[in-house]
Amino acid sequence: MSRIPTPVQKLEAKFNAQWKNITDARELSARTRSKLRQDLAGLDSDDSSIVISGSLARDEFTSGSDIDWTLLIDGQADPNIIDVLPRIQEIVGRAAKKPPGREGTFGTMAFSHDLIHQIGGEDDTNRNTTRRILLLLESSAVGRPDAYDRVIKSVLRRYINEDDGFRRGTGKYHVPRFLQNDFARYWRTMAVDFAYKRRSRFGHGAAMRNFKLRMSRKLIYVSGLLTCFSCELQINVSPRLFPCPAPSGSPECVACLHDFLRLTPLEILATTLLPFPHLDPTALSLFNSYDRFLGLLADEQTRDHLENLPSDPDPSDSTWAEARRITHQFRNALLELFFDEKSRLYELTRMYGVF
């Protein structure tokens, strides 16, 4: 049985391109998730899902990647649930070279109440915001998805049902602004945290974090913005919901956004670009640069070199110069995309991306 091509594969075929590094990362991601699914079987339940984030969920996994994971709880309190954490940690640890980040955001439990009910306010910590936004933008359940799907849909209902302008269609554009604002807040938080980590870690690993901030972290935000703009642009990935529902149909809007967000960030980018042939040069530049980005990360020697660069690398360093060239190409193509007037992305960017 032939597989339906992904949006990225459709673009690749359209341009007769060969994005080998994107393909290799996607295939390695699929194999790694499949192995984890087998090894973690039985450690989840109706009330808990083992959720991965980061490159493995984005289909961008390479041999040097770590695996961010969370045991997501959505159900009755079980005092014995903590007993499965060491086993999950052991199994995931065998599949990745490095443990999750030292901040403690991943590699532990997360509870649905915090993710759903603590949006904004003092109790919505950086950790809680990160977990919630990454749950939407770059996550996947390995194993039973019951709790995972319930929580994602409940989070989206919070954003949609409390966005009066979106539900009633009172604004000039049909954009879920509550959701879009939280995506924007998370992007700014990542940028601020980069400066914090550079200082608190005395510059160690800052060059690599800078590289990722300008590429994969930026792509996460881009995919969130495009998801929100898709409502106005009438880009719908669910045939059962085509055409897009009326603004007042919040259950249908939640279902539509849920299906859109189950795409990876690269797939969301490709899905947005496919209907606009005049943006083909921009699309080619975006995916060529991102393929090269994944190629640098997949090369063990290059990755180690980037990891060990000082916080202010020598401009004459050839590897760093190539990394910067890639980030500039990606940035310039994104500016072309978001300020394109024919697709109306310019109008949406001006209205929602500035003020």
d(CA 44, CA 142): 9
d(CA 351, CA 329): 25
> Edge-to-edge strand order for the sheet containing 108-111?
108-111, 68-73, 48-53, 139-141
Q: Which of 50-64, 82-96, 164-178, 209-223 has the lowest mean pLDDT?
A: 164-178
Expressed as residue numbers, the domain containing 37 is 7-352
pLDDT tens column, 288-304: 999 999 999 999 999 99
Q: Do you know the residue count of the chain?
A: 355
Give CA 61 to chain center in angstroms: 13
pTM as predicted:
0.94
Q: Is residue 1 part of a domain?
A: no
Q: Is 59 in contact with 31 (CB distance < 8 Å)?
A: no
Within 8 A by CB and 6+ apart from 262, the residues are none
d(CA 219, CA 58): 10
Q: Is residue 294 part of a domain?
A: yes
Residue 203: pLDDT band by 50, 70, 90 thresholds?
confident
Supply the angle between the helices 250-261 and 265-273 in degrees, to the nearest 10: 110
d(CA 291, CA 19): 6
User: Residue range 72-88: average pLDDT?
Assistant: 88
Q: Is residue 219 part of a domain?
A: yes
Provide the number of structural domains found in the chain.
Answer: 1
Q: Which of 45-54, 64-73, 79-88, 136-145 has the lowest mean pLDDT?
A: 79-88
Inform me whether the pLDDT recorded for 246 exceeds 70: no
Q: Is residue 126 part of a domain?
A: yes
- Tell which residue, 142, 126, 123, 168, has the closest CA to residue 34: 142
pLDDT tens column, 269-294: 999 999 999 999 999 999 999 999 99
Q: Is residue 2 part of a domain?
A: no
> How many CA atoms lie within 13 Å of 45's alpha carbon, on the beta-carbon side?
11
